Amino acid sequence: MAELQFREALKHAIDEEMGRDERVFIMGEEVAEYNGAYKVTEGLLDKYGFKRVIDTPISELGFAGLGVGAAMRGLRPIVEFMTFNFAVLAADQIINHATKVKYMTGGQIDCPIVFRGPNASAGQLGATHSVAYDSMYAHFPGLKVIYPSEPGDAKGLLKAAIRDDNPVIFMESEQMYGMKGEVSDAEDFIIPIGKGKIKREGSDVTLVAHGKMYHLAVQAANQLAKDGIECEIIDPRTVKPLDLPLIIESIKKTNRCVLIDEAHPFGGLAAEVGFLIQREAFDYLDAPVQRVCLPDVNAPFSKKLFDAWFPSPKQVIDAVNQVTYRT
């Protein structure tokens, strides 16, 4: 095990995959000479040269589509978006092309491509730089969506994503890049896409949280433990495919569930998982499932409003109190 920052874990994954497969290359804004807007690609230009570490103009639609084309012709692009807020400009290529080309051509053409970059809010960056897009992408058939919370998961899953023969959305967070965590140094450490993980065992309530929200769940669970409430935390790690059996098994044990999701409430992961739980574990529930997510409002700039907007550990604790009838 090595202790690595999130960004280092990502870099190691990219580095190892570029090392083992000539077809893998990375492109995006400021990824090469600037060493990455968030330093994920630091040093890769020196190691792999200008052919495989490529700076792009601010042309998200263009370079995402170029990536799709390169993937259709057998290369394995990693397309970095400076944030997923800017990938909206490339939505046509991701949604209308990458996800559909194999199907439309009756299986003739593969599109092995990874679109990656930071997702969701990162403090006071205002309405256009703060959206969580994981649930939106999960809506579309043909995409796998990964949003890990810890460096170890990030490395194993990014390697899996790069080797996957399908388009994969891989999401990170500006606010997690500096976070440290244990990363396996097993040779070729791969985490299969679609496998969640029980990150804390507990018997009183199940918390489901991924990405940045996982850390919120941990804070709440630590607080609640002082009060004698033991939370089980499940990090799905991949939004789609979703490891539903893991969640259901936990609920069969705890009979209560709070979902924590950094998306707006309508049609987000929390909504989906909530539905699935009632379908698969209705008889096991001792209380209605609750969720903590963003309000149905754009991100405000002002610190005070931002703090009111962003999910807090207190909201998680309140929701746990509600499902355990402690209020």
Partner 1 sequence: MAKKKKEEIRFAPTGIGDVNEGAVQKGVDLPDATEKTHKDLGLSEEQLLAMYEQMYLQRRFEERSMQQYQKGKFGGFLHLYIGQEAISTGTTFALDDEDDIITAYRDHGWGLCRGISAKEGMAELFGKATGSSRGKGGSMHFANAKKKFWGGYGIVGGHIPINAGFAFANKYNANGNISTCFFGDGAVDQGALHETLNLAQLWKLPAVFVVENNGYSMGTAAARHTVAQIVDRAKGYDMKSAVINGMDVFSVYEKMKEIADDVRENSEPWFVEIRTYRYRGHSMSDPQKYRTKEELEEYKTIDPIQRLKTYMLDNELTNEDQLKEIEDKVEQEVLDAVEFADESPFPEEKELYEDMFAEDDPYFHV
Query: Residue 88 corresponds to which amino acid?
Result: V
Closest separation between CB of residue 105 and partner 1, Å?
Answer: 25
In the annotation, is 129 catalytic?
yes
Question: Across the beta sheet with 168-172, what order do the strands follow?
Answer: 53-55, 24-28, 76-80, 114-118, 168-172, 144-146, 238-240
The residue type found at 119 is N
**Residue (82 or 233) nearer to ligand TPP, CB:** 82
Q: Name which position in 2, 66, 75, 89 contacts ligand TPP (CB under 6 A).
A: 89
Which of 57, 74, 107, 141: binder of partner 1 (CB under 8 A)?
57
Does residue 60 touch ligand TPP according to CB under 6 A? Answer: yes
**Does residue 30 come out as left (phi exceeding 0), alpha (psi in the -120 to 50 range) or beta?**
left
Q: Which of 60, 150, 262, 272 is catalytic?
A: 60
- How many other β-carbons are positioned within 10 Å of the β-carbon of residue 42? 15
Say how many C-beta atoms besides its own lie within 10 A of residue 38's C-beta: 22
Which string of x and - marks every residue 1-40 that binds ligand TPP (by CB under 6 A)? ----------------------------x-----------
Q: Taking the complex as a whole, how short is the minimal distance between the CB of residue 1 and ligand TPP, in angstroms? A: 35
Q: Looking at beta carbons only, is 35 or 184 nearer to partner 1?
A: 35
Three-class SS state of 291: strand
List all residues 6 or more positions away from 278 whose beta carbon is below 8 Å from its beta carbon. Answer: 285, 289
58 binds ligand TPP (CB under 6 A): yes
| One-character DSSP codes across 246-270 | HHHHHHHHH--EEEE-SS-STTSHH
Which member of 123, 200, 215, 276 binds partner 1 (CB under 8 A)? 123
Binding site for partner 1 (CB under 8 A): 27, 29-30, 32-34, 37, 49-51, 54-62, 85-86, 88-89, 123-129, 264-266, 295-298, 300-306, 308-309
Binding site for ligand TPP (CB under 6 A): 29, 58, 60, 82, 86, 89
Residues serving a catalytic function are 60, 129
